Structure 1
Amino acid sequence: MRLWLVVVYCCFFWLPLLAHAELLVKKQQFEIKEFQTQSGKTIQDVKVGWEAYGQLNADKSNVILITHYFSGTSHAAGKYQSTDTAPGYWDAIIGPGKAIDTNKFYVVSMDTLVNANVKDPNVITTGPASINPATGQPYGLSFPVVTITDFVEVQKAFLESKGINNLYAVIGPSMGSFQAIEWASRYPDKVQRLIAAIGTAYIDSWSAVRLERWAEPIKADPNWQQGNYYGKAAQPTAGLVTALAYITQDASNPEGFNQKYQAPALDQKAHLDIRTDLTAWQQLRQTAAARAALQDANHILYLVRASQLWRVGMSDNWPQALAKISAKTLFLPASGDLLLTPEMSRNSQQQLQQAGNQAQLTEIPGQWGHLDGLLNIASVGEQIRTFLN
Structure 2
Amino acid sequence: MRSIVALVLLALSLMSAASQAELLVQKQAFTLENYTTIGGKTIAEVTIGWESYGQLNDAKDNVILITHFFSGNSHAAGKYSSADPLPGYWDAIIGPGKAIDTDKYFVISSDTLVNAFPHDPNVITTGPASINPATGKPYGLDFPVVTIADFVQVQHALISSLGIEKLHAVMGPSMGSLQAIEWAARYPDQVERMISVIGTGAMDAWSIMALEHWARAIKTDPNWNNGNYYGAEAPLLGVTNALALITQYAMHPLSMNMRSPAPTVLPEAGLASVTNSLPELDFLFASAALRAPMADANHILYLVRANQLFVAGHNTDLATGLSAIKAKTLFLPASNDLLLQPYLAKQTVELLQQQGKTPQYEEISGIWGHLDGLFSISSKAETIREFLATP
TM-score (norm 1): 0.94
Displacement, 1:219? 0.5
- The corresponding residue for 1:294 is 294
**Alignment map for 1:332-343 (pairs within 5 Å):** 332-343=332-343
For 1:281 and 1:352, locate their aligned partners in 2 and report how far apart those are by CA, in whole Å: 43
For 2:280 and 2:193, locate their aligned partners in 1 and report how far apart those are by CA, in whole Å: 42
**Alignment map for 1:203-222 (pairs within 5 Å):** 203-222=203-222
Displacement, 1:268? 4.0
Q: Aligned to 1:29, what secondary structure does the other structure show?
A: strand
Q: Aligned to 1:264, what secondary structure does the other structure show?
A: coil
Which deviates further from its counterpart, 143-152 or 319-328? 319-328
- The corresponding residue for 1:6 is none
- The corresponding residue for 1:260 is 259
For 1:168 and 1:210, locate their aligned partners in 2 and report how far apart those are by CA, in whole Å: 34
For 2:262 and 2:237, locate their aligned partners in 1 and report how far apart those are by CA, in whole Å: 24
For 2:379 and 2:271, locate their aligned partners in 1 and report how far apart those are by CA, in whole Å: 41
Q: Aligned to 1:45, what secondary structure does the other structure show?
A: strand
For 1:94 and 1:287, locate their aligned partners in 2 and report how far apart those are by CA, in whole Å: 28
For 1:117 and 1:219, locate their aligned partners in 2 and report how far apart those are by CA, in whole Å: 18
The AA in structure 2 aligned to 1:258 is N
Displacement, 1:279? 1.4
Q: Aligned to 2:254, what secondary structure does the other structure show?
A: helix
Alignment pair present for 1:243 and 2:242: yes
The AA in structure 2 aligned to 1:73 is N
Displacement, 1:23? 0.3
For 1:291 and 1:275, locate their aligned partners in 2 and report how far apart those are by CA, in whole Å: 23
1:178-200 per-position Cα deviation (integer Å, ceiling 9, x unaligned): 00000001111100000000000
The AA in structure 2 aligned to 1:253 is H
Alignment pair present for 1:145 and 2:107: no
For 2:46 and 2:146, locate their aligned partners in 1 and report how far apart those are by CA, in whole Å: 13
1:122-170 per-position Cα deviation (integer Å, ceiling 9, x unaligned): 1111110000000101000000000000000000000100101110000
For 1:72 and 1:217, locate their aligned partners in 2 and report how far apart those are by CA, in whole Å: 20
- The corresponding residue for 1:195 is 195
Q: Aligned to 1:270, what secondary structure does the other structure show?
A: helix
For 1:224 and 1:273, locate their aligned partners in 2 and report how far apart those are by CA, in whole Å: 28
RMSD value, Cα: 1.2
For 1:245 and 1:207, locate their aligned partners in 2 and report how far apart those are by CA, in whole Å: 17
For 1:195 and 1:151, locate their aligned partners in 2 and report how far apart those are by CA, in whole Å: 17
TM-score (norm 2): 0.93
1:41-96 per-position Cα deviation (integer Å, ceiling 9, x unaligned): 00000011110000000010000000000110000000001111111000000000
**Alignment map for 1:1-389 (pairs within 5 Å):** 20-232=20-232, 234-265=233-264, 267-389=267-389
The AA in structure 2 aligned to 1:89 is Y
For 1:288 and 1:100, locate their aligned partners in 2 and report how far apart those are by CA, in whole Å: 32
For 2:251 and 2:206, locate their aligned partners in 1 and report how far apart those are by CA, in whole Å: 18
Quick one: percent identity of the two aligned structures? 59
User: Which has the higher Rg, Structure 1 or Structure 2?
Assistant: 1
For 2:355 and 2:283, locate their aligned partners in 1 and report how far apart those are by CA, in whole Å: 47
For 1:382 and 1:172, locate their aligned partners in 2 and report how far apart those are by CA, in whole Å: 17
For 2:123 and 2:305, locate their aligned partners in 1 and report how far apart those are by CA, in whole Å: 21
Displacement, 1:270? 1.6
1:221-259 per-position Cα deviation (integer Å, ceiling 9, x unaligned): 000111111111x11000000000000001111111111
For 1:69 and 1:57, locate their aligned partners in 2 and report how far apart those are by CA, in whole Å: 28
- The corresponding residue for 1:15 is none
1:247-279 per-position Cα deviation (integer Å, ceiling 9, x unaligned): 000111111111111233264422333221221
Displacement, 1:328? 0.7
Corresponding pairs, count? 371
Displacement, 1:315? 2.2
- The corresponding residue for 2:14 is none
The AA in structure 1 aligned to 2:302 is Y
For 1:335 and 1:72, locate their aligned partners in 2 and report how far apart those are by CA, in whole Å: 22
Unpaired runs of 5+ residues, structure 1, are: 1-18
For 1:289 and 1:275, locate their aligned partners in 2 and report how far apart those are by CA, in whole Å: 18
Displacement, 1:331? 0.1
Displacement, 1:316? 2.5
For 2:151 and 2:55, locate their aligned partners in 1 and report how far apart those are by CA, in whole Å: 24
Q: Aligned to 2:294, what secondary structure does the other structure show?
A: coil
Displacement, 1:282? 1.1
For 2:196 and 2:291, locate their aligned partners in 1 and report how far apart those are by CA, in whole Å: 26
Which deviates further from its counterpart, 72-81 or 318-327? 318-327
For 2:293 and 2:75, locate their aligned partners in 1 and report how far apart those are by CA, in whole Å: 18
